[in-house]
Structure 1
Amino acid sequence: MVMLHGLEGSAHSHYIIGLHHAFARLDWSSAVMEFRSCGPEMNRARRLYHSGETSDLDLVVRHFLSRGFEELYLVGFSLGGNVLAKWLGELGPEAPIGVPDIQSPFDIAAIVWNKEDLFPSLIEAPEAVEGLVHKCFRLLTDFLQTFRREIGEVNFCHCPYAWAPPELGCWLSEDEAGSMNVGMFERFCLPTLNALSDTFGGLFMHCCATADHQYGSFGKIRNLRGLNRVFQKPGAKPAIDAFSGRTVLVQAWMDEAALNALLEMAHPDTRFLFNLSVEKPEQAVPLVERLRKRCPRQAANAPREKAVAG
């Protein structure tokens, strides 16, 4: 993780130190790029730093990539965020970094507003919560539209890693759905999820919360193209029953035995997108062939048996 501080900040800024500690707990390597004149050494060059100067950042990023880091993430604060955004725009589709974790408007609001205060406010100050969620919706929409305009047709998908044509919509996480009842979800979350789906042509959603009780509400999201769930008890069957025939179930982090168990529960019109990994490239082809035998593609007028296309 490479951090960019704000105007006249440094590696000793309180927010930078706090993130260092947080990343250390995750066993992540982290570093700070101090802008010219912000570190312990006097800047002796002919230029200083400003929000549009990106050559130093480009040099730092390429240095880390040359050292063999397979994944590199960046976070910028205030002016540092401006520098990061401009650098991404200059690189376009060639940006050699991981894309961010896109959260739903309500999830963003839960980050902005302390959760211990936010959830009581769903009852005590619902209009204030709705106002914040709507502001987060506008911020997220502006970000996604700007990113697509400046970087290109990149379809964010962080959990799990997958790809879909950008015209099918955007990907995001809705992890707070398990923390509220159906009525609250449909008041505070559903309107902006539908607005995002309408704006971008559809929605792919990840939810790792215990949220089976929200499946009926998830079904009210217009053009919900795909859903990734980290299944808790009672397992995958409720999701398969709820979304077969209308939403692709995007699944990952499973071995072949777990995959076969899912296929046994599938309906004729269940669709899966599996994200699987193997230790060696030569193991991939046999795995795909076994899946094809389990999941034959059938013509529209053929007899429908238990089969899954994906």
Structure 2
Amino acid sequence: MTNKLRWGVLSTANIGIKKVLPAMQQGNFSTVTAIASRQLAKAQEAAKSLNIPKAYSSYEELLADPEIDAIYNPLPNDQHVPWTIKAAEAGKHVLCEKPLSMTLAEAKSLIAVRERTGVKIGEAFMVRSAPQWLRLRALLDEGRIGELRSVAGFFSYFNIQPDNIRNKVETGGGALMDIGCYLILAARYGFRQEPSRVVSLIDRDPIMKTDRLTSAILDFPSGQATFTCSTQLVPYQRVHFFGAKGRIEIEIPFNMPNDRPTRIFIDDGSDLTGAKIVTETFPACDQYTLQGDDFSRAVLEGGEVPMPLEESIANMAVIEAVFRSAASGRSESV
């Protein structure tokens, strides 16, 4: 193995081509060496545009390449677990796009796969490597806002295209799976706990049947988290963390721009006009570069990946509870 992890990519999905792969190629510990598509022309076009050396006409061919160490899996949600298993059984480490699976049971099945194959498997929650989130963790741990008691998050965009993969319920589309997973992760990350129960409401698109507006309350041992996510609202995202002594707000928590600085706001509450807010600014960086390098280093140096399976399973357990509560009209245990 070289001093850089050699990556292969399953599919020419937009998230990979436009965001993740160009960023990974800038990494100190990652190099993208191959890409596969079921249509060779697509793979060749992507390889040419991104200067990737190899293009394959099938995922199986890519998995058989002995010069690939790890796989990035940005396939549709219903294909995440099947192809993660195939990659692991081919001896490849796997970074799988979020959400890791369609169900909690599916996510749990990957534990045995990891133990059997000995590879590392992680979910691509790039925020786990982002500097403003790491700073949030430090501020919470040092008690800057006192004991964390409430987390409030909002994440939305507008997309009503029926042929878009995010609007197909059979392949895991909808607001909760696509972006609500981030808000659940934010609450769990803040509290460093798991919620015991949830209460939720879901409004579904009458034609596509996906959840287009989902809100939930998560009951943690130390407090509560609330969130709303939507695929049919004005694009917006924020997360607030509230304690007895102050609050922390992450300005662009998830789609962090890579071409300008990002900010968090720390407020002690002493002036409701915001005059006492302390702003911390972080230099421009690409969270996908950081994610790729963090995963690559975990493999090369024998550490833990940023979002291990146990974390993904806990996140999926909350997602399922939110769906159950909306269907039952009652609080549901996680």
TM-score w.r.t. the length of structure 1 is 0.32
Name the structure where strand makes up a greater proportion of residues: 2
Q: Tell me which protein shows more helix as a share of its residues.
A: 1
Question: TM-score if structure 2 supplies the norm length?
Answer: 0.30
Based on CA coordinates, which of the two structures has the bigger radius of gyration?
Answer: 1
